[in-house]
Amino acid sequence: MTGTLRDFQQPLVVLNLASNRFSGTLPCFYASRPSLTVLNLADNSLVGGLPSCLGSLSELTHLNLSFNALSYEISPRLMFSGEIPSRITELTRLQALRLSHNLLTGNIPARIGNLTYLQVIDLSHNALTGPIPLNIVGCFQLLALIISNNNLSGEIQPALDALDSLKILDISSNRISARSRLL
């Protein structure tokens, strides 16, 4: 399917439009705020960054916006910042956050550890900078942390050692130094 992705007027529980050719910016899905649990728009041609209104999808458990062009310039005069909005940390039911293969910039939100149900974080293949947030240990159910191919810096936080459930850690192709028993 092709075209500009528009907001839906009916409250949806699951929206899976992955692997299409939708373009334009992300709508806010206002009608689905109290009900949407799965939002999968991976592998499209979406641009314009992540709107902070995504933080109002209070029931969201799975967010997959991988393989788009988020934060890409859509006209010579219009450039979105492309940062991961801090409101994403208000998605307290979130279990999977997949934003890989975009053009996202800035830091990983510092309060990401508040998302205690998170099991998968995939922010790989972006242009993220800064350290891995120390409070990521709040995600005590975290199984996979995939943040490779960014521009993250600093040391692996010793706090990551406390993630007993962690099965996959991919921090390759960053500027991170090893000072943890994880490596």
| pLDDT higher than 50, residue 180 | no
Confidence of residue 182 (pLDDT cuts 50, 70, 90): very low
Q: Is the pLDDT of residue 117 over 80?
A: yes
Residue 126 maps to a domain: yes
User: Does a structural domain hold residue 183?
Assistant: no
Is there a domain that residue 87 lies in? yes
Q: How many domains does the chain have?
A: 1
The residue type found at 8 is: F
Q: Is residue 182 part of a domain?
A: no
Question: Is there a contact between 131 and 159 (Cβ–Cβ < 8 Å)?
Answer: no
What pLDDT, on the 0 to 100 scale, is given for residue 133?
87
Q: Is residue 137 part of a domain?
A: yes
Q: State pLDDT tens for residues 5-36.
A: 999 999 999 999 999 999 999 999 999 999 99
Q: What is the pTM of this model?
A: 0.91
Q: By percentage, how much of the chain surpasses pLDDT 90?
A: 73
Rounded Cα gap, residues 55 and 13, in angstroms: 16
Domain span at residue 110 reads 2-177
Rounded distance between C-alpha atoms, residue 128 and residue 142, angstroms: 20
CATH number at residue 80: 3.80.10.10
Give a yes or no: residue 63 inside a domain.
yes
**37-89, pLDDT tens digit by residue?**
999 999 999 998 899 899 999 999 999 999 999 986 555 555 556 889 999 99
